[in-house]
Amino acid sequence: MSGAFLQQNVIMKWRPILQDLTFTIILWSYYTAGFVLFFAPFYLLAYCFSRNRQRTFQKLNHLFYKGFFGLVKRLIPACRWEIPKEVREIQSSVIVCNHRSYIDPILLISLYPRHTTIAKARLFRIPIFGKMLTLSGYIPSKAVGRFGELMIDLMERMPEFMDSGGNVFIFPEGTRTRDGHIGSLNKGAFKIARMCRAPVTVLFVENTDKLLAPGKFLFNTRSPNRIILTKLSEIHPDYGADDFSMNGFMQDIHGLLVKKSINNGL
């Protein structure tokens, strides 16, 4: 009896970890093998035949990550998603959002067929993947070396992109928070908004770090969770006004994020 009891305890102890591991392998398999088998041929066709590669690549990225989160929802029913219609329907805006988890940017890609964002410059150096980032019209974080010409080209086309309904989403903190507190904001997103005379939409994401914590490989597939994406404000600044202050504008947005964070008990 003691041996059977010990064996049962071992099984009970390892079962949750095995569930997390199994579902994580399935999700990362979609992310890797699934991409190669099911999506890569469409990217190749788009590269060879599309008249607007950037737009087509963005749409394919959107569909790929939409499928990823569809799989997440099937495998992890304990995780509930609250993304209201007003968030899904944002267009022609610079979207700024707090940053909790690796999945935050791909979540926004899954919501918006027409999108671009700022990606770390080192990612553009990765063979094939870096080329896909370039073809998707994503913006390198540093305009050094060969990235300078790419950034100039993207910035010149940005007003047209946004006028056609595209969104630029950026996590102005620059990195994922470990404790939920809002860090200082970088100016990149706000410079783009001013250049394009575009509105700035402020979003707040909650609990993505409970699904996939920073620095972790395994998804948390068992704990009840609610991932919430809230629209805090849509701001239409008068960029040409004599009293417009970029620093003041950024402080106002930082204040919105901090207030929401405090209200959430962070």
Which residue ranges form the domains of the chain, and what is each CATH number?
Answer: 2-263 (3.40.1130)
pLDDT in tens, 167-195: 999 999 877 666 667 888 888 889 999 99
The pLDDT score that the predictor gives to residue 2 is: 53
The pLDDT score that the predictor gives to residue 11 is: 47
Whole-number Cα distances in Å, 49 to 13, 46, 135: 53, 5, 13
Most confident of 3-17, 202-216, 252-266: 202-216
- For 248, half-sphere exposure in the C-beta direction (CA atoms, 13 angstrom radius) is 6
pLDDT in tens, 44-58: 999 999 999 999 999
| DSSP reduced 3-state for 189 | helix
Cα–Cα distance measured from residue 112 to residue 66, given in angstroms and rounded to the nearest whole number:
10
Check the CA dihedral 237-194-200-247 and report its sign: negative
| DSSP reduced 3-state for 201 | strand
Residues 235 and 202: beta-carbon distance below 8 Å: yes
| DSSP reduced 3-state for 28 | helix
Residue 115: pLDDT band by 50, 70, 90 thresholds? very high
DSSP secondary structure of 67-109 = HHHHHHHHH-TTEEEE--HHHHT--S-EEEE---STHHHHHHH
The pLDDT score that the predictor gives to residue 174 is: 75
Residues written for the chain: 266
pLDDT above 60: residue 80: yes
Residue 23: pLDDT band by 50, 70, 90 thresholds? very high
* Mean pLDDT value of segment 261-265: 80
In this structure, what is the dihedral angle of CA atoms 171, 229, 137, 68, given to the nearest 10 degrees? Answer: 120
- For 47, half-sphere exposure in the C-beta direction (CA atoms, 13 angstrom radius) is 13
Model confidence, pTM: 0.91
- The sheet with strand 94-97 has its strands ordered as 79-82, 225-235, 200-206, 94-97, 167-170, 115-119, 139-140
The pLDDT score that the predictor gives to residue 266 is: 61
In this structure, what is the dihedral angle of CA atoms 127, 129, 131, 136, given to the nearest 10 degrees? Answer: 180
